[in-house]
């Protein structure tokens, strides 16, 4: 027993030694700890292909020196990242750089904190409108350009401010940061962006059945209320689209809630079915709406009396527009418009009618109602915008944040739509009856509107990055299920013109680096220090002769051998 214990002893010790050595090597290997001067969350410019042409920023990883806008003219910026705060943005400068394809290491735009949905909600800044316009213009420029270097957005905070001030000081002296002069280095260790495989769009529909009299064989007529819920913007991780189309979603949910209250009692249930649709794929020519409509069977589609699409009703003052594709002389259009105008007069606001013909051969679908019209269903879009937006414009970009949306506007919009629909359903057109009166149990609930608006203004909703089981989609489904009889979810693939790439939100490390000349200088200083120390010690302990003898070979030996 003692012998085996003895032989086991050294072996055990050896094993424990191996494990210690292994641990040591592991520790040594993973010492690339992040000890940067600053670590910032940054959001990448969107990268997508439209009909095969590449757009957006094509790269994600970054490892270059930083410079500010005050760089000395004529400096080589092909390995430099320009940090541009929005306040100092000169749009012509950026346009020039992008269109003339000047080489650049990268771009980092600093947005004022007020646009952040996490902290900046209540801050006031000067010239909010001007900054909003600048940001909108920048966004349009970046989305439609093909940029062969990384472009990132970040929010200003104290750390970045100090770093930027330092960089500006260095640039002012005329010393842009390169490998030999030190400065700041921006490092983002992101892998190559990959295509998002088969992006899905999810359409959610809620059905509220009307009152069918006994013995009635025919299908009841249906009224559809539709809003698209996804967004598209320059930075997909920041595209919350509070107005486009968060306001529409909130309005739809509130209308659903009001009508579910009415329809819950058979005595007040109308003789119209109500179909609520939350569609996706809005920015991509309302692809989702088209697929949703195609999935209906013929009878249902024919039973739709008309559809009202809601698009951006969050920041208007006194005027809303109803956009139609059928000519205004059409009886149905007239009916809808009159209904809305009557209610609008009572609510002290104006409603205008805009007609835009559809061109079947043109794939561009500017309004959601056009998808209905292409399938011969009467439809109209209610919006604060008077002109149809261009492709990928007005789809909820960086500037579309909470402070620019007015919940009173949404409440008035809800009142307008709900009253008009209710008067049509219950046959009270033209009569001065307030169904959703201000102090009744059917009043529009401002708290509901506000809480959903706040949630929407914090949730980026770019469709390719919303998975099938995304919690937000599930939340919408649940909310609609609360207010309707039956909810259906349709998952489709976003096919066609668009391909998207991932890597939308990463962390930027800012390192303060010393230049190579500094290290060489230090080496020189240390070398001379050690040599001086050596000579000093030799002289004091052994004498000066010993020092000299170290350098001179003894000549006597040579003579002796000869």
Partner 1 sequence: MTVFHFFNCAILTFGPHAVYYSATPLSEYDTLGTSVKAALVYLGTALVKLVCLATFLKVSENDGFDPYQELLKALIGFIDVAGLYFALTQLYHRNISQNHKFQAVGLGWAFADSVLHRLAPLWVGARGLEFTWDYILQGLEANANLVLSISLAALGSLMWLRKNKPKTLIPIIYACAGIVATMPSITSYLRRGLGWHFPKVVGFELFTSLVMAFISWQLFSACQRPSA
Binding of partner 1 by 534 (CB under 8 A): yes
Binding of partner 1 by 64 (CB under 8 A): no
Give the three-class secondary structure for 152: strand
Tokens describing residue 171: 């640039």
Tally of helices (H runs) and strands (E runs) in the chain: 15, 19
Pairwise CA distance, residues 106 & 77, whole Å: 9
Q: What is the DSSP letter of 55?
A: E
Q: Among residues 22 and 375, whose Cβ is nearest to partner 1?
A: 22
Binding of partner 1 by 522 (CB under 8 A): yes
Select the residue interacting with partner 1 from 125, 514, 544, 548 (CB under 8 A): 514
Select the residue interacting with partner 1 from 523, 544, 545, 549 (CB under 8 A): 523
Binding of partner 1 by 214 (CB under 8 A): no
What residues contact residue 410 under an 8 Å CB cut-off, 6+ apart? 247, 250, 251, 313, 314, 449, 453
* 151-155 vs 47-50, strand pairing mode: unpaired
Which residue(s) pair with 43 in the sheet? 153, 505
- Chain CA centroid to CA 219, Å: 42
Q: Are 382 and 321 in contact (CB under 8 A)?
A: yes
Tokens describing residue 134: 């600048």
Nearest alpha carbon to residue 509 among 150, 169, 33: 33
The minimum distance between CB 516 and partner 1, in angstroms, equals 6
Report the phi/psi class of residue 200: left, alpha or beta, with left for phi > 0 and alpha for psi in -120 to 50.
beta
Q: Are 329 and 420 in contact (CB under 8 A)?
A: no
Binding of partner 1 by 467 (CB under 8 A): no
Binding of partner 1 by 489 (CB under 8 A): no
Q: Among residues 30 and 559, whose Cβ is nearest to partner 1?
A: 30
Nearest alpha carbon to residue 89 among 103, 69, 65, 117: 69
Q: What is the DSSP letter of 244?
A: I
Nearest alpha carbon to residue 211 among 160, 262, 269: 269
What residues contact residue 55 under an 8 Å CB cut-off, 6+ apart? 47, 48, 49, 143, 144, 145, 146
Q: Are 238 and 153 in contact (CB under 8 A)?
A: yes
Tokens describing residue 152: 């990132």
Select the residue interacting with partner 1 from 512, 528, 545, 549 (CB under 8 A): 512
Binding of partner 1 by 448 (CB under 8 A): no
Q: Among residues 207 and 511, whose Cβ is nearest to partner 1?
A: 511
Of the listed pieces 17-25, 153-161, 400-408, 535-543, which binds partner 1 according to CB under 8 A? 535-543
Q: Among residues 105 and 396, whose Cβ is nearest to partner 1?
A: 105
Of the listed pieces 193-201, 443-451, 483-491, 507-515, which binds partner 1 according to CB under 8 A? 507-515
Binding of partner 1 by 388 (CB under 8 A): no
Q: Any idea which residue has 């939308």 for tokens?
A: 504
Of the listed pieces 301-309, 447-455, 486-494, 515-523, which binds partner 1 according to CB under 8 A? 515-523
Select the residue interacting with partner 1 from 123, 428, 468, 542 (CB under 8 A): 542
Binding of partner 1 by 439 (CB under 8 A): no
Q: Among residues 84 and 506, whose Cβ is nearest to partner 1?
A: 506
Binding of partner 1 by 513 (CB under 8 A): yes
Give the three-class secondary structure for 439: coil
What residues contact residue 374 under an 8 Å CB cut-off, 6+ apart? 290, 358, 360
Q: Among residues 93 and 529, whose Cβ is nearest to partner 1?
A: 529
Binding of partner 1 by 533 (CB under 8 A): yes
Binding of partner 1 by 13 (CB under 8 A): no
Per-position x/- string for 264-303, each x denoting binding to partner 1 as judged by CB under 8 A, each - no binding: ----------------------------------------
Q: Provide the edge-to-edge strand list for the sheet that holds 304-311.
A: 350-355, 319-324, 379-383, 304-311, 222-228, 273-279, 200-208, 486-493
Q: Are 491 and 280 in contact (CB under 8 A)?
A: no
Binding of partner 1 by 28 (CB under 8 A): yes
The minimum distance between CB 29 and partner 1, in angstroms, equals 12
Pairwise CA distance, residues 271 & 483, whole Å: 18
Binding of partner 1 by 538 (CB under 8 A): yes
Q: Among residues 99 and 529, whose Cβ is nearest to partner 1?
A: 529
Select the residue interacting with partner 1 from 2, 26, 29, 31 (CB under 8 A): 31
Select the residue interacting with partner 1 from 185, 257, 323, 326 (CB under 8 A): 185
The minimum distance between CB 515 and partner 1, in angstroms, equals 8
Report the phi/psi class of residue 52: left, alpha or beta, with left for phi > 0 and alpha for psi in -120 to 50.
left
SS3 content of the chain, % helix, strand, coil (to 5): 40, 20, 35
Binding of partner 1 by 545 (CB under 8 A): no
Binding of partner 1 by 548 (CB under 8 A): no
The minimum distance between CB 523 and partner 1, in angstroms, equals 6
Phi, psi of 206 (to 5 degrees): -125, 135
Tokens describing residue 257: 């809630």
Binding of partner 1 by 20 (CB under 8 A): no
* 125-184: contacts with partner 1 (CB under 8 A): 179, 182
Q: Among residues 39 and 125, whose Cβ is nearest to partner 1?
A: 39
Binding of partner 1 by 475 (CB under 8 A): no
Q: Among residues 353 and 547, whose Cβ is nearest to partner 1?
A: 547
Of the listed pieces 348-356, 457-465, 470-478, 530-538, which binds partner 1 according to CB under 8 A? 530-538
Select the residue interacting with partner 1 from 172, 530, 544, 548 (CB under 8 A): 530
Residues that bind partner 1 (CB under 8 A): 28, 31-37, 179, 182, 185, 187, 509, 511-514, 516, 519, 522-523, 526-527, 529-530, 533-535, 537-538, 541-542
């Amino acid at each position: 027993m003692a012998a085996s214990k003895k032989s086991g002893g050294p072996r055990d010790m050896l094993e424990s030694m191996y494990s210690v050595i292994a641990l040591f090597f592991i520790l040594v290997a993973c010492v690339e700890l992040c000890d940067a001067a600053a670590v910032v969350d940054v959001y990448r410019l969107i990268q997508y292909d439209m009909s095969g042409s590449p757009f957006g920023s094509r790269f994600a990883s970054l490892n270059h020196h930083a410079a500010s806008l005050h760089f000395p003219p004529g400096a080589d910026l092909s390995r430099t990242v320009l940090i541009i705060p929005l306040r100092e943005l000169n749009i012509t400068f950026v346009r020039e750089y992008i269109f003339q394809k000047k080489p650049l290491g990268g771009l980092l735009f600093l947005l004022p904190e007020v646009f952040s949905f996490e902290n900046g909600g209540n801050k006031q800044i000067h010239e909010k409108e001007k900054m909003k316009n600048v940001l909108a213009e920048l966004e349009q420029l970046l989305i439609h350009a093909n940029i062969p270097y990384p472009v990132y957005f970040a929010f200003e905070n104290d750390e970045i401010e100090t770093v930027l001030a330092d960089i500006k000081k260095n640039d002012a002296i005329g010393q842009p940061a390169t490998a030999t002069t030190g400065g700041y280095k921006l490092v983002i260790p992101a892998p190559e962006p990959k295509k998002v495989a088969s992006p899905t769009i999810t359409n959610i529909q809620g059905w509220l059945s009307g009152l069918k009299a006994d013995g009635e064989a025919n299908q009841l007529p249906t009224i559809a209320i539709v809003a698209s819920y996804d967004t598209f913007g320059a930075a997909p991780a920041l595209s919350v689209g509070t107005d486009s189309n968060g306001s529409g979603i909130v309005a739809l949910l509130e209308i659903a809630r009001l009508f579910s209250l009415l329809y819950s009692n058979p005595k007040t249930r109308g003789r119209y079915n109500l179909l609520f649709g939350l569609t996706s794929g809005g920015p991509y020519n309302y692809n989702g709406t088209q697929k949703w409509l195609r999935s209906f069977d013929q009878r249902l589609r024919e039973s739709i009396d008309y559809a009202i699409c809601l698009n951006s009703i969050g920041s208007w003052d006194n005027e809303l527009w109803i956009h139609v594709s059928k000519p205004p002389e059409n009886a149905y259009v007239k009916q809808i418009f009159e209904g809305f105008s009557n209610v609008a007069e009572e609510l002290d606001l104006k409603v205008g009618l805009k007609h835009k013909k559809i061109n079947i051969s043109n794939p561009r679908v500017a309004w959601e109602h056009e998808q209905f019209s292409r399938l011969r269903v009467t439809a109209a879009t209610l919006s604060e915008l008077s002109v149809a937006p261009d492709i990928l414009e007005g789809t909820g970009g960086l500037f579309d944040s909470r402070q620019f949306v007015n919940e009173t506007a949404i409440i008035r919009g809800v009142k307008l739509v709900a009253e008009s629909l209710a008067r049509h359903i219950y046959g009270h057109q033209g009569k001065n009856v307030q169904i959703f009166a201000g102090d009744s149990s059917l009043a529009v609930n401002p708290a509901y509107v506000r809480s959903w608006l706040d949630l929407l203004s914090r949730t980026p909703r770019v469709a390719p990055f919303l998975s099938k089981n995304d919690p937000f989609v599930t939340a919408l489904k649940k909310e609609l299920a609360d207010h309707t009889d039956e909810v259906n979810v349709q998952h489709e693939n976003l096919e066609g013109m668009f391909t998207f790439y991932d890597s939308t939100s990463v962390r930027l490390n800012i390192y303060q680096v010393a230049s190579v000349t500094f290290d060489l200088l230090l080496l020189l200083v240390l070398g001379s220090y050690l040599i001086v120390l050596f000579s000093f010690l030799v002289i004091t302990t052994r004498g000066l002769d010993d020092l000299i003898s170290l350098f001179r070979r003894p000549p006597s030996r040579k003579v002796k051998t000869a």
